[in-house]
Amino acid sequence: MAKHRPEPELPPCYALVLPGLEEVAAAEITQDLRGEVRKTGRGLVVFRVSTIDRDVLRLRTTEDIFLYAWGTDQLTYRAVDLDKIQRWTAREPDWDHLLRLHHAVRPRPRGRPTYRLVTQMSGQHGYLRKHAHEALAKGLAGKLPASWRHAEENASVEVWLTIQGNTAICGVRLSDRTMRHRSWKVEHLPASLRPTVAAAMVRLAGTGPGQVVVDPMCGAGTLLGEQVEALRPYQRQGVRLLGGDVDRNAVRAAGINLRRLGPKRCTLWPEADEEEASATPVLLTRWDGTRLPLASAAVDRIVSNPPFGKQLGEPEEIAALYRQMAVEYDRVLQPGGRAVLLVGDLPLLREAVRRVGWKSLQQVSVRVLGQRAVISVWRKPER
């Protein structure tokens, strides 16, 4: 009888995430993917799953997912690191196994496979990124099939080396650009949110079956789109999503984006007739978010990313906008309801929210479009 070699143990996976979102991503990996988080670092979550399949590509708060080849947090910042990068790449991973696992998740395209190497480096090192890249390439020599072609665009396999300070991690990329950019988001506006940040806000909102969620300043509809995606398991349980913006062009853009999530997913309101409106999960309209056409205490969750006062609006107008917004959001929110707000100026928001007496539940610092920002989670007291 032929002897079968046992399959090697599954390697860990890792996610690259926007710095600040590590804990939210770790919670998604643990709760939704049933993964076991082994380590988090700046912009990084290392985890294990019992089966590596396309489910890992359903994560929403991560920028990219990889099969782990090797990693260290002991870089010396000196040129000796380059020898180690080459040696680790050549000796540590079972590249054949990693490629088999990669093909199981991302089937090989027809024709001769292509590959690409990517090196990212941040921090002050005594060598350049291109030197680290060369060390990676030397370490990989002879590890990928000789027939594979190098390609800078749309390569079927990508091997990434990410260096941040004294940490380096190397792996085979399982995700592609649609993980971070989403295929449904085709209309973009200045100051539109990164979908992974919107997904994190939606997770923190914790919307459940039967609830009403509103984004009063929806821009291109990123938060609403992520909320639709997060609610997929509950679609039949009557969650209602409402969104609007003062800018007609934003409402149009949000409509185009949200319709891509499926037919009947989005209706422009008030054009929708009553019957259609009640059957449609997302209603969009042009409105002033500080004077919402909604009854008091009609909403369970508010997810909102008001202007920062930099790209949009004048800084002095923002304090007044936040004050009006807090009063109006408080009016429409149910007692016990939750608001998740992303702002650039947290003290200004705190000042506005202090007047309505919401309780602060959590804050997550992130960088959005190169600026410091904070996702803040609030609860309206039961009274």
Ligand X SMILES: C[S@@+](CC[C@H](N)C(=O)[O-])C[C@H]1O[C@@H](n2cnc3c(N)ncnc32)[C@H](O)[C@@H]1O
CA–CA distance, 244 with 44 (Å, rounded to integer): 34
Give the nearest distance from C-beta 191 to ligand X in angstroms.
Answer: 4
By CB under 6 A, residue 217 contacts ligand X: yes
Nearer to ligand X, 287 or 378 (CB): 287
By CB under 6 A, residue 250 contacts ligand X: yes
Which of 222, 227, 267, 376: binder of ligand X (CB under 6 A)? 222
Give the nearest distance from C-beta 108 to ligand X in angstroms.
Answer: 36
* Three-state secondary structure call for residue 111: coil
Give the nearest distance from C-beta 130 to ligand X in angstroms.
Answer: 35
**Residue 184 CA from chain centroid, whole number:** 14
How many chain residues bind ligand X (CB under 6 A)? 22
What's the burial of 227, exposed, middle or buried (CB within 10 Å: 0-12/13-18/19+)?
A: buried
Q: How many other C-beta atoms are found inside a 10 Å radius of the C-beta of residue 13?
A: 25
Mode of pairing for the β-strands spanning 13-16 and 64-72? antiparallel
Nearer to ligand X, 35 or 306 (CB): 306
Give the nearest distance from C-beta 364 to ligand X in angstroms.
Answer: 16
- Encoded one letter per residue, x for contact with ligand X by CB under 6 A and - for no contact, window 37-56 reads --------------------
The token duo for 14 is 């890792």
Q: Give kind and range of the element (H or E) at residue 373.
A: strand 371-379
Give the nearest distance from C-beta 287 to ligand X in angstroms.
Answer: 6
By CB under 6 A, residue 94 contacts ligand X: no
Q: Are 244 and 286 in contact (CB under 8 A)?
A: yes
Which of 191, 256, 268, 369: binder of ligand X (CB under 6 A)? 191
Interacting residues with ligand X between 278 and 297 (CB under 6 A): 288-290
Give the nearest distance from C-beta 271 to ligand X in angstroms.
Answer: 19
- Part in contact with ligand X (CB under 6 A); list of ranges 18-26, 99-107, 206-214, 217-225: 217-225
Nearest 10 degrees: Cα torsion 41, 45, 48, 54: -160
Give the nearest distance from C-beta 57 to ligand X in angstroms.
Answer: 22
| DSSP labels, 209-271 | TT-EEEETT-TTTHHHHHHHHHTGGGGGG--EEEEEES-HHHHHHHHHHHHTT-TTSEEETTT
CA–CA distance, 51 with 143 (Å, rounded to integer): 24
Give the nearest distance from C-beta 217 to ligand X in angstroms.
Answer: 3
By CB under 6 A, residue 207 contacts ligand X: no
Interacting residues with ligand X between 226 and 245 (CB under 6 A): 245
By CB under 6 A, residue 307 contacts ligand X: yes
Q: Are 354 and 323 in contact (CB under 8 A)?
A: no
By CB under 6 A, residue 193 contacts ligand X: yes
Nearer to ligand X, 24 or 292 (CB): 292
Length reported for the chain: 383
Which residues of the chain form contacts with ligand X (CB under 6 A)?
A: 189, 191-193, 216-220, 222-223, 245-247, 250, 288-290, 305-307, 312
